[in-house]
Structure 1
């Protein structure tokens, strides 16, 4: 079986792996910059699902690693930089907790997270950065 990174090099590839049509919902009711972010998020969720090959995060198991991306868009490097990190909660009080990443955008390994950051950087930028 081919390596999933060889199979998923685009949104269309991810759709093919999942057996779905590569369409994007209509976000035209939003302002243009919000449309771009929502389209990017939609595509990134599909891409993450394909790259994870059926793996879903087990949120009841705190010992199960979940990898997410961390970007620094405030660099002199035009492209910015990224790195992956293990998912963890920043805090928890009175049975409430919060996190700095979306659960649908985490990965089963740091290798896949790093690949997604590099291969789909422009989509992540569209999702996270509001351009004036």
Structure 2
């Protein structure tokens, strides 16, 4: 029997769209799970649920999130968002973890945030130059790289990036910032 790869992939996609999990499992057993995974991680991780699937239910981050979720602790969107973002970042990193060596680069999505009054005071050209994005509840002009620091009297307060939210490339940092902007907004507590 001669089986063409494009036919197997088409059958898998048909089963996926129909919600035929058992058919998908049979195809995965016959041809291997890797055959059906999109090669690019940004194609595989579009939602929080995708990230959980990518890591698997036994991953410590997924287990911790499920315990948090089952604990019934409501009204703490920043903690919920952090637990979700560390799962997403781990999935996007595909096993890479920062080692904090001198020559290692780590990336993080940064946002330049404006108040509604600042946005309203911008002329049309400034708004277009800022490439406004909306989370639904909040608007931000930039999802890329920036740095913010808070300076107090004779000393400075400085916080760097949490290692669980580092990404292995600038491309992944920009993707994560844009694709999961609502979670980042919750993490930074910029929603009302």
Q: Into which bin does the TM-score normalised by the smaller protein fall?
A: 0.7 to 0.9
Q: Which has the higher helix share?
A: 2
Aligned length: 116
Structure 2 residue aligned with 1:110: 170
CA distance in 2, matches of 1:113, 1:106: 8
Structure 2 residue aligned with 1:19: 56
Structure 1 residue aligned with 2:111: 71
CA distance in 1, matches of 2:189, 2:167: 21
Structure 2 counterpart SS, 1:72: strand
Q: Which of structures 1 and 2 has the bigger CA Rg?
A: 2
In structure 2, runs of 5+ residues without a counterpart are: 1-37, 120-131, 147-157
Q: CA RMSD in A?
A: 2.2
TM-score relative to the length of structure 1: 0.77
CA distance in 2, matches of 1:128, 1:62: 29
Structure 2 counterpart SS, 1:68: coil
In structure 1, runs of 5+ residues without a counterpart are: 86-97
Structure 2 residue aligned with 1:90: none
TM-score relative to the length of structure 2: 0.54
CA distance in 2, matches of 1:18, 1:46: 8
Of 145, 167, 179 in structure 2, the residue corresponding to residue 84 of structure 1 is 145
Q: Tell me: higher relative CO, structure 1 or 2? Use CA pairs within 8 A at least 6 residues apart.
A: 1
Structure 2 counterpart SS, 1:67: coil
CA distance in 2, matches of 1:51, 1:72: 23
1:119 aligns with 2:147: no
Structure 2 residue aligned with 1:9: 46
Q: Which has the higher strand share?
A: 1
